[in-house]
Amino acid sequence: MLKENASEMYQYLQDENIEAFNQARANGLAVSLKDSVFRGLNLKGANLNGIDLSGCHFKSADLRGADLRNCNLDGCSIFNAKISGVFFPASLSADEINLSLLHGTRIRMPA
């Protein structure tokens, strides 16, 4: 079930305050984004590297240029998201990405 995460870091992203989010990460603030909702948000430039994004919904979000190589994307959906230039985990197949992008299926990360 999706939850509305009330953390400070989540709020930065909800407000599309990417600069504050990245600065807080650089300052060592903990990030908990599992099962969060990012529908339609502009997350371009957000430092998401290494964050557990499992169960997140990125419907119509702008993720262009994001480095997600070290992220857990299991169960997340990227339906209709902008993903140009996104680095996905090497273990994730192009078919799995396309199914989520085009049909909204939840991504299944290989075990």
- Which pLDDT score, from 0 to 100, does residue 111 have? 81
- Which pLDDT score, from 0 to 100, does residue 1 have? 41
Q: What is the pLDDT of residues 72-106, one digit of tens each?
A: 999 999 999 999 999 999 999 999 999 999 999 99
Phi, psi of 9 (to 5 degrees): -65, -40
Mean pLDDT of the region 20-41: 94
Centroid of chain to Cα 77: 9
What tokens does 88 get? 């996905």
Which domain, by its residues, includes 106?
1-111
pTM of full prediction above 0.85: yes
67 three-state secondary structure = strand
Burial of 77-98, coded b for 16+ CB within 10 Å and e otherwise, reads bbbbbbbeebebeeebeeebbe
- What total number of domains does the chain contain? 1
* pLDDT over 90 at 19, yes or no: yes
pLDDT grade for 6, boundaries at 50, 70 and 90: low
Cβ proximity of 25 and 47 under 8 Å: yes
Phi, psi of 87 (to 5 degrees): -90, 115
Q: What is the pLDDT of residues 37-58, one digit of tens each?
A: 999 999 999 999 999 999 999 9
